Each structure stands twice: as C-alpha cells, then as structure tokens.
Amino acid sequence: MRLSLLTLILFCCIRLVSAQTPSSQPLTAVKCGRLLDVRSGKILTNAVVLVQDGRIQKVGANLAIPADAQVLDLGNALVLPGLIDAHTHLLQNYDGKIGGDDVNMLLTVTQLGNTRRALLGAAMGREDIEAGITTVRDLGNSGLNGDVALRDAITQGWVVGPRIVASTRALAAAGGQFGQVTAEAQQLVAQEYVTISGVEEARRAVRQALYDGADCIKVIVNTGPRVVSLEEIKVIVEEAHRVGKTVAAHAIGDQATSIAVEAGVNSIEHAYSIPDDVLKLMAKKNIFLVPTDYPAEFYVSVSPAPPGASAEMYLSGAQEFAEANHKRLARAVKAGVRIAAGSDEYYQVPGKTRGQASLMMFRAYAASGMSPLEIIRAATLNAAELLGAKSWLGALEPNFYADLIAVEGDPLTDITALEHVSFVMKEGKVIKNETNTKR
C-alpha cells in the first residue's frame, strides 16, 4: 500500500515537472510547394507544416510562420505522409541465386543466428526509411524475437529505422513454414515459429508472444497440407482481442481464407487464391486484405529461371502469376474489401535497396485497377487503421506524428513517383533531404 502511494506521488510530481518544462525541440516550419491531403485527395499549394516535439502542431495553406521557427523549405516538392508497409520481414534478406525459401530459411537460421540477424534488420530498416517507409508491421521470421529487439533499438535511437509494430514468432502448425527436414533438425523450427496443436496450446502461444513483447499476433493458417483449425484460430483471435491486439493471418486458398475470416482475424495476408464469398464476408467484417503483389519483372529479377526452364518460359510463368494476382485484387476491391499495402519483401533485388524494391508493389496495385489515390491511402490511412494507429499515423494533421516524405513528381498521375523519395522526416527529425531546395 505504501509503495503504491509513493508511486502515485512520484507520478504526480513527474507530470507537474513535465507541464512546467518548455518544449525540448525547437519549432520547425516545413514549407511545401505542394501538399497532399490524403483524406480529400486534394493538393494544397504554398502549404506549411508546423512541427514540434515530433508532432504536427498546425498544417495549412499560407499558414503564418512564427518568427522563432526554424524554416525548412522543400521548394515545389509534393509532401505527403510517411508510407506504411503492413507486411515486412526486416530480418531476412534472401539471395534468389542460392535457391528458394526453404533453402534460404535454413541457411539464415543456421548461419546467421539472432545477433547477426538483428544487425541485418538494422540495415534493412535503414533502407526502408530512406525510401520513405516510416512505419512497418514486421510479421515474423525474425528469429527469437529479433523484431522486438530491433523495434526497441530504433525507439531508443540506437539505430535509424522505421517505427516497428512487431509480432515476434508466428504461430503455426507443426513444422511452421519449413520444408521437410530431418528429425534432428526439427528443433530449428522453434527458432522461427511457435507450433500449436489444440486450443490450449494456441491460447498459451498468444500469451507467450505478448510476454515476449508482441504488438500484434501473426498466425500461419496453412502451409501445404498443414492447416490450423478454426477452433484454434478463434482462440488466438479471442486472446489477442481481449488485450487490444490485432491478428494477421497468412492464408492462401479457399479453406484457409474461409477459416481465418470466420474466426474474425484483422487482416488476411497474401490470399493469392480466395473465393468471392469469402471476400464479401471480409468486407462485411471490415477485415483488411494485405496483397503482397508485385509486377512480373520483380519475380524475374529476384531469382533466375530454374534448371530446365528457358528465360521465356520463366517470364511467361511470372506474368501469368502476376496477372492472376491482379484479377484477385480487382475482385477484392469490387467486393468492398479494404486494402492495406504490404510488401512481404525479403529477397535481394539487383540495383535496388530493400525500401526501393518494396515500393514496386504499387505497380502491381495499379495494374489491378487501383487509382493512385487509392494506392496512397492503402499505404497511409488504411494501413494506419489496420495497425491501430489511425489517430496518430497516416495523415498530415494536428497531433499526428510528424512523419513526412516528399517527391519531385506527381504520384497522383504516376504512382512510380513514390519510388523516388527525396525527403524523409520521422517524428520531426530529418532522415534524408535530397530536395532541390535545402535550408
């Protein structure tokens, strides 16, 4: 009782001191020749964003700039909110020349280990934020909670990277997403996944993830013939939602997507194959689709043609896969399913950083019929809502985090303009400034 009273007194004192302490950061006025209001879709000219202590204070056209403000003039660049990637794996960086996912996963787990993977994640995170991705949801494949360690290191300012919503190890059926390995090697599965069999194991796995520092829960609904049951996923959702956490479900195919949607997850990841009735139920339940799609040239660039396949055959196969994804995404949008952008990028793309490669997903979204504004909203407003952050992320509005990016082109007419970000600010701190006008 005495300890609780002392804690309360200390808390009150801290609040009083904080209220009397002046702002630690100076006021910054960001002058924007053009600024995109992502809610209305309108572009404001001669706009000003006033930033202090990592938050937006005011924003508007021809806004008066206080005399004591530091001025940052971005010229005629178009300013918009920092982008959100709702499906990342920062602690993976596979080489397609070595082989597919199974081979690369084994090499990553056995050769890198948690420490080096955390350092890899720091490098990938830096490449993401320099491309304009200021927030990510990292969905597993991060070793033993390496995503949590990276999240905390970025929060503490030890390394520069995007804000991370971490999931810790994904929940999955036996074997996780590993291919066939020997009995002796199956202990490696626990380095990447928490395997569950039965509702109580599912409940225990969620509670363990929360203890490990998870901001959200990731569940692998199906891998080959291994499928998590409806009852297990219902318990996962129940446990997560009980404490205000969301559930992301990797699901592909009729059975897996149907199970995940019926259980009430918050997002379906991938869903390369999904029936129309499941899409309609997703729309009704306000379950997001995170389409991890790319144009055909992306798939060809990350991995050479397999033995026995000509380059022409390989390209044709990639185009067929990409076109099927375009049609699936178009069906989802038509059904009223809300889209949140997610790259699922974890392969080395020649000539591109991790962030630059991730933004190629927008080309696939455009090929599916989404308008540039719809794509931008998928990577800002929609993604922020999915992450439970719609009150402070995804728009340039008062009290929102001062996450700003700028491009010289016009992404409302050419979405690939977002692949050439010239300015990045996260929580009021300039990460990158290559605009034509600097001050």
Query: How far is the C-alpha of 216 from the C-alpha of 213, rounded, in Å?
Result: 9
**C-alpha distances in Å from residue 389, one per residue of 201, 214, 246, 392, 416:** 30, 16, 12, 6, 26
Candidates 187, 189, 205, 186; CA nearest to 197 is 205
Long-range contacts of 250-254 (CB under 8 A, 24+ apart): 250/139, 250/170, 250/218, 250/219, 250/220, 250/221, 250/222, 251/221, 251/222, 252/222, 253/222, 254/278
**C-alpha distances in Å from residue 42, one per residue of 20, 79, 372:** 39, 12, 13
28 DSSP β-pair partners: 51, 70
pLDDT by residue for the chain (439 residues), tens only, comes to 444 444 444 444 444 444 444 456 789 999 999 999 999 999 999 999 999 999 999 999 999 999 999 999 999 999 999 999 999 999 999 998 888 888 888 889 889 888 899 999 999 999 999 999 999 999 999 999 999 999 999 999 999 999 999 999 999 999 888 888 888 888 888 889 999 999 999 999 999 999 999 999 999 999 989 999 999 999 999 999 999 999 999 999 999 999 999 999 999 999 999 999 999 999 999 999 999 999 999 999 998 888 878 888 888 999 999 999 999 999 999 999 999 999 999 999 999 999 999 999 999 999 999 999 999 999 999 999 999 999 999 999 999 999 999 999 999 999 999 999 999 999 999 999 998 765 4
Residues of 401-421 as b/e, b for ≥16 C-beta within 10 angstroms?
bbbbbbbbbebbeebebbbeb
DSSP letter at 368 equals T
Tell me, what amino acid is at 346? Answer: Y
**C-alpha distances in Å from residue 163, one per residue of 15, 39, 90:** 26, 22, 12
Q: What is the pLDDT of residue 306?
A: 80
Q: What is the pLDDT of residue 24?
A: 66
Question: Model's pTM, two decimal places?
Answer: 0.93
Query: How far is the C-alpha of 357 from the C-alpha of 345, rounded, in Å?
Result: 7
Angle formed at CA 182 by CA 177 and CA 186, multiple of 5 degrees: 50
Angle formed at CA 182 by CA 177 and CA 184, multiple of 5 degrees: 110
Q: For each of the domains in the chain, give its residue range(s) and CATH number, in order of start.
A: 19-81+398-433 (2.30.40.10), 83-359 (3.20.20.140)
Q: What is the pLDDT of residue 14?
A: 42
In 37-159, beta strands by DSSP E: 43-52, 55-61, 70-73, 78-81, 83-88, 133-138
413: phi > 0 → left, psi -120 to 50 → alpha, else beta; which? alpha
Q: What is the pLDDT of residue 437?
A: 61
Contact 415, 422 (CB under 8 A): no
Tokens 């995940």 belong to residue: 260
